[in-house]
């Protein structure tokens, strides 16, 4: 079970990392600093192999703590995102390795750049499946919930408030006009595009955090019952791991929230 830690100082030896992980109760099989293929030069990335899945997941959520330095850990993963060439718009290669080198329009599939395309919006065609949709998902910028009729009406009302007698010869007047247009668009957007429902501040805990909470409480009760220093040390170690795990839970929850906002489906014929 492999995980990686990046941006680890070259001065930190592998055995020091192993000692730091063992100290907090993580069962580690191997710690290796990766090297570049050319010249076998050490890098700042550490490959850490854990004994089992639970140890690996706990390590990912808590990270690596070496003295006062903390490093985030991440699981080994394969890039599953599709790659699309922006020249021919075919998948599974990038423009650098495109064999055609002939620019294909993402709108009509002809041999020209999209900026030069004069095709109507109702004649859009995909270069891959030939269906009436954009070749590139970057062109699908339609807000599904937006009330565009209301937007245009409100924007027209706002723009009518501008004094047409105002001269735009001076730089200050031009700046004032730009601010007026920007504010008009913001007012229209606020009224026509619905705001998202407020989300709960309570975020879901990972399995690693739940397990660490249980371990911390168990260690605390044993320590208070027996007074053993081993139980005391295990309690404080689990407390440190839990703090790091909860912080990473909050970070992961924020990343998921931002990802959902950035990848919303925005398809509408009203745009």
Q: Write the pLDDT tens digit of every residue in 136-156.
A: 554 443 456 678 888 889 999
H/E stretch holding 35 reads strand 28-35
Lowest mean pLDDT among 25-29, 173-177, 267-271: 267-271
Cα(3)–Cα(21) distance, integer angstroms: 13
Query: Cα torsion at 233, 238, 240, 241 (round to 10°)?
Result: 140
Cα(53)–Cα(250) distance, integer angstroms: 22
Please give the angle made by the CA atoms of 23, 210 and 242, to the nearest 5 degrees: 40
Contacts of 196 (CB under 8 A, 6+ apart): none
Contacts of 201 (CB under 8 A, 6+ apart): none
Cα(155)–Cα(152) distance, integer angstroms: 5
Residue 186, Ramachandran bin (φ over 0: left; ψ between -120 and 50: alpha; else beta): alpha
Tokens 């735009």 found at? 168
User: Average pLDDT, stretch 15-34?
Assistant: 91
Tokens 């998202």 found at? 196
User: Average pLDDT, stretch 83-107?
Assistant: 80
Half-sphere exposure of residue 155, counting CA atoms within 13 Å on the CB side? 14
Cα-only R_g, the chain: 28
In sign, the C-alpha dihedral spanning 243, 60, 254, 68 is: positive
pLDDT of residue 110 exceeding 80:
yes
Q: What are phi and psi of 194, to 5 degrees?
A: -65, 145
Given a contact cutoff of 8 angstroms between Cβ atoms, the answer to whether 48 and 4 are in contact is yes
CATH assignment, 2-75 = 3.30.70.330
Domain with CATH 3.30.70.330 in the chain: 2-75
pLDDT of residue 96 exceeding 70:
yes
In this prediction the pTM is: 0.38
In sign, the C-alpha dihedral spanning 215, 219, 222, 225 is: negative
- Give pLDDT, residue 268: 42
47 exposed, middle or buried (CB, 10 Å; 0-12, 13-18, 19+)? middle
User: Average pLDDT, stretch 157-181?
Assistant: 78
């Amino acid at each position: 079970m492999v995980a990686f830690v990046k941006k680890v100082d070259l001065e930190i030896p592998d055995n020091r990392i192993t000692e730091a992980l063992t100290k907090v109760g993580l069962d580690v099989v191997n710690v290796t600093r990766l090297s570049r293929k050319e010249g076998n030069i050490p890098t700042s990335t550490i490959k850490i192999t854990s004994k089992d899945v639970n140890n690996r997941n706990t390590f990912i959520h808590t990270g690596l703590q070496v003295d006062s330095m903390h490093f985030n850990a991440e699981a080994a993963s394969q890039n599953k995102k599709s790659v699309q060439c922006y020249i021919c718009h075919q998948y599974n290669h990038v423009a650098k390795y495109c064999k055609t080198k002939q620019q294909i329009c993402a709108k009509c599939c002809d041999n020209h750049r999209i900026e030069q395309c004069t095709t109507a919006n109702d004649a859009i065609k995909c270069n891959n499946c030939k269906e009436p949709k954009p070749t590139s998902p970057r062109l699908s910028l339609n807000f599904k919930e937006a009330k565009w009729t209301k937007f245009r009406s409100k924007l027209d009302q706002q723009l009518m408030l501008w004094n047409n007698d105002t001269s735009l010869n001076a730089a200050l007047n031009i700046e004032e006009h730009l601010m007026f247009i920007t504010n008009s668009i913001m007012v229209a957007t606020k009224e026509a595009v619905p705001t998202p429902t407020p989300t709960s501040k309570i975020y879901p805990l990972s399995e690693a955090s739940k397990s660490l909470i249980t371990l911390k409480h168990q260690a605390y009760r044993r320590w208070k019952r027996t007074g053993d220093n081993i139980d005391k040390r295990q309690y404080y170690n689990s407390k440190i791991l839990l703090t790091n795990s909860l912080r990473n839970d909050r970070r992961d929850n924020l990343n998921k929230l931002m990802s959902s906002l950035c990848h919303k489906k925005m398809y509408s014929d009203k745009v």
